[in-house]
Amino acid sequence: MKLPRFLARFRSSGAADEPVVEPEIVATPVEAAPARSRTERLNHWLTLAANVGVLLGLAVLIVEVRQNASLTRTAMDQQKNDLLAEIEFNIARPEITDIWVKSIRAPEELSDAEIRTIDSLLISIMLQWDQMFMMQDAGLISETRVRQHIQNTAPFYFGSRFGKHWWALQINGWEGTAMQKVAGPIVEALDEDFLDRHLDKLKLHPKGPPAETAPSDTETGP
């Protein structure tokens, strides 16, 4: 280390001849990143390919789930239609038709056996509605569609005095369910004379005799 000039005169002659040793600064070498081996590069690409495969698998799974949901919805829709068709075929049987019409026109005259027959038909309708509620719970159809179906079918099965009386006795067993919350208000609002008037409207009155045409003024006799 060098001393200031004004202190240099106090140095001894021997000290003046001694060389000044500067501290040596040694730079620390920076190690270069080791080159990636062929095996490491291969593992990297294999991992990348595996991740891409997982993403493709998820995409395929989503498509399959949607397709399966569509097939399930179609199958359950067909079951619903089959059940409704079976109910209509049973009502169309002559011995059942007479009982069905009596439940509309003269419900007070139904025998116990006839009441049991109508009871089974109305239970079938409720089970069909319940199937649609299950489809709604599974996310296969919307509540709007279920409600629309009930509004379309309810008048033709419960739109009579007997139908509404039967419903009032049964609905308590569905307390707290969608059957009570959705179907209940629809059936309760029905006109109990709907089916009676509906049968009357379906009748065609016989045509009267054809009206006689008056002779034209331009016609002349022989």
Give the three-class secondary structure for 107: helix
**Which sequence spans correspond to the domains of the chain?**
76-202
Distance, CA of 220 to CA of 222 (rounded, Å): 7
Q: What is the DSSP string of 184-214?
A: HHHHHTS-TTHHHHHHHHH--PPPPPPPPPP
CB neighbours of residue 82 within 10 Å: 11
Distance, CA of 105 to CA of 109 (rounded, Å): 9
Give the three-class secondary structure for 111: coil
pLDDT tens per residue across all 222 residues of the chain: 554 554 455 454 544 455 555 556 555 555 544 555 777 777 777 777 777 777 667 666 666 666 666 666 667 667 767 777 788 888 889 999 999 999 999 999 999 999 999 999 999 999 899 989 998 998 888 999 999 999 999 999 999 999 999 999 999 889 899 999 999 999 999 999 999 999 999 998 887 666 565 555 554 444
Question: What integer pLDDT is reported at residue 10 of this predicted model?
Answer: 47
Stated pTM of the model = 0.61
Collect contacts of 15-18 with beta carbons under 8 A, ≥24 apart: none
